[in-house]
Structure 1
């Protein structure tokens, strides 16, 4: 950033607005250094009460002024129409500050901090926070913070996994630059059946070195998380993680009723459950083939003897339909049930 631009930004950071309100926003640092692929937090404090009812705010990279108009790369924004976020930062920047509802309080601590992850060398530059009140002349901007992202000789790439079906092969592939002196290790393999694992296998080329592990997926592997890092890594932000998505037909389909002893006039709810990916839909049947309707629950209100019978549900997704266990309903007359209960208590 050239000296005139820096001077203008420092002036804007220190100036009070036309109503004389001092700038309540402060950055904790003027410079930060971070490693490529890691994360960095830009700490921003709020030292006074701030009314956010008609305001928006944003973080901007390499801010410059041209004819009174602020330009630069917006990396975080609460108003995408006025200040849209660059797609290069959209999935890498997270707000880590305090809830906006606390900004209206006089009590510290309050924060407007953000974090940037999966840093790139191109992220090196100057950053600032800007607050704009659209109805009142309250516009504030902090001084700039200079971020320097240094090269990482062990930057890791952990290939995302495609969606697979049950019993299909899965390959975990992690790689880094060949210049990296540390070996790669894949974590999470203890979750798998050892008899289904092949690897790890090492492969070196001119530019990359790669570690792969293969296994055959079963339905219980759906959602399992795996990690990759260098063996001497101490930075949690440099660990890469992926998860598996395994599709499989419905399993463990089960039906149950809410009342064990069903009395006339009660409300009885039948509940169906099953595992499956995609998530199964449920259909209820009475006396084996009389279709009742769909849904995980089937409720019978003010039940009568006409609802006596055997009920079951079926769980269905694109792979299969699985039938549940039968559930029997035998409705007792309220008077007879009460009499039987009294008789039982008498003999006990």
Structure 2
């Protein structure tokens, strides 16, 4: 640093750390260089000495100015006046507090004082060099689940004030986590750790731009969804969809019916479904980190009664006066619960229920019903001859 004194007083320079002295005149700075965070406040302090008998008239901070012109007081500069505050006793020290600093404030600043002696004016050079920095998060673009990752909060210069760092994920503080260094260590990363990370200094409002941490992982939560009605009826079109949570998204899917491979692709479509398609289905999802099967899904295909038939129970030898019990059998889904019995050539039902007791000769058939339809059986003939009734099935 150097001191300039207006002639004709002789100048003697004594260079010291953070200060410059000449005989009884001198200026010392608390810091020769300050690295400050953007939008923060900066404290610049100087102390000075002057010969006995001199009186301090004015002390202020200034910056570079045109040669031959009186250095301007920063407090009178519109660019600084609203942000600069003077502290100190003015007789031996002068401290300037500059608020809301930005990169535009990067200059070298000097302490200037004048005395009651016309030539007794001093400016301490070199002065205080101010550098203003922002914060940037340095992070790998992506990590794999289970790895450890270290994020670094970087500045363009070493901050003058002792820095305590705060970390944020998706704009939320990490449980008030503060690291005395500028690094955040995430051990055994989970997919929940993915997000936008930013950092700040405790006690400051400035927050760094966010950087996205991408956590990759193999397929999880693999499941099969059925596109269409909740109830599948024979003849419907059905599409099965394989869904999984993975990063990167799975692009390889395979389908299985029971243990048999069916096809490749995320979708499996059946244009006209039948009861033959009632089976367990599952899919497999694959990405570059692994694979996983879904739980099995059963396709329950509904259909109306079919293969309806009548058969007799008990002995074929029936004594006159006994009855013949007929039972109606059918294949349907859901199982038929409603049955009607008819005697040929009669329009009205002669009975209901899955079984029917025939007390007279005739041709009888049943009709089975569920919510999807109905079907009637072939007729059987019941004949009573002498002491017995005989059953004859007519095709």
TM-score, with length taken from structure 2 = 0.41
Larger fraction in strand: 2
- For the pair shown, the structure with the greater C-alpha radius of gyration is 2
Structure with more of its chain in helix, by fraction: 1
Higher RCO (CA-CA < 8 Å; seq separation 6+): 1
